[in-house]
Amino acid sequence: MEFKQYFKDKCIFVLGASSGIGIEICKHLLSYNATVIMHYNTNEKEIAILQKEYPQSIKVKFNIKDEQEIKKVTSKLFSQYKIDAFINCVGIMIRSFIPLTSKESFNNIVTTNLIDAFVVLKYVSLEMIKNKTGSILNVSSLAGSHGLKGQAAYSASKAGLDAVTRVLSKELSMYNIRVNGIAPGFIDTGILAEPKEQDLAFKEKIPLKRFGTAAEVAHLTCFLISDYSSYITGQTIKIDGGLSNAL
């Protein structure tokens, strides 16, 4: 079967689908005729455009800080659709050197990227366990494995998420559920829409001498949630133009 045809009967739930990497993943999956549940919190604009173009798409709104809402929505979605894969693309980042970072600011990043994301993963896992099949993918970051200057909270949150990926893969393998992550380096979208001086300095260090594109990240994501990667679990795969080898 051709890779594109593989997704024809599949249903994918994308958390944090409203912009950047998330919306690009949705575009790829929709173009492969998958049914895509697109989650957003505050920004509906691009999702609404995709919905007009692809009637098989579904939109869902909630704040991942609201555990009761997460529980209600995931239970409802899994009862309505046979969800084959879940992609966690939510992430926030601020730049701040540790001596200048408040406890509140550090806490906010770690809570959103790690703890709130963990709560969603918990309820998605509970539903997938009932189905005894599925694939989960966390969008992490190179910051998680390498720690980037000015990004202590973000790096810590993604390092924690990588650990959750490893543990969840061990806990869910007996239910035929694979759990992986991807760790993008510098991707020309979303958080990097307006690159700062230090981002441009990193560009020089990237062996491929450019930032990555959201489409390149989407290709890897589609592979990792599909059965084409059926023997891969517990991994966080770097997609960084070789930067991790150069740091």
Report the candidate in 123, 113, 66, 32 with the shortest Cα–Cα distance to residue 12. Answer: 32
Binding ligand NAP (rule: CB under 6 A), the pick from 11, 16, 58, 160 is 16
Is 190 among the residues that bind ligand NAP (CB under 6 A)? yes
Is 75 among the residues that bind ligand NAP (CB under 6 A)? no
Residue 228 known to be catalytic = no
Count other Cβ atoms within 10 Å, centred on residue 96: 17
Count other Cβ atoms within 10 Å, centred on residue 68: 8
Is 50 among the residues that bind ligand NAP (CB under 6 A)? no
Report the candidate in 191, 99, 197 with the shortest Cα–Cα distance to residue 154. Answer: 191
Contact 135, 177 (CB under 8 A): yes
C-alpha 236/C-alpha 220 separation (Å) is 11
Q: Give the torsion through C-alpha atoms of 58, 63, 65, 68, to 10 deg.
A: -60
Is 186 among the residues that bind ligand NAP (CB under 6 A)? yes
What minimum distance in Å lies between the beta carbon of 139 and ligand NAP? 4
Which residue(s) pair with 238 in the sheet? Answer: 183
Is 40 among the residues that bind ligand NAP (CB under 6 A)? yes
Catalytic hit among 32, 40, 54, 154: 154
**Residue with smaller CB distance to ligand NAP, 115 or 232:** 115
Report the candidate in 109, 87, 86, 83 with the shortest Cα–Cα distance to residue 96. Answer: 109
**Residue with smaller CB distance to ligand NAP, 189 or 229:** 189
What minimum distance in Å lies between the beta carbon of 214 and ligand NAP? 7
Binding ligand NAP (rule: CB under 6 A), the pick from 41, 51, 96, 133 is 41
Report the candidate in 132, 135, 157 with the shortest Cα–Cα distance to residue 147. Answer: 157
Is 236 among the residues that bind ligand NAP (CB under 6 A)? no
- Helix or strand or coil: residue 184? strand
Is 243 among the residues that bind ligand NAP (CB under 6 A)? no
What minimum distance in Å lies between the beta carbon of 101 and ligand NAP? 17
Please give the residues from 114 up to 153 whose contact with ligand NAP meets the rule CB under 6 A: 139, 141
Is 107 among the residues that bind ligand NAP (CB under 6 A)? no
Among all residues, which ones are annotated catalytic?
A: 154
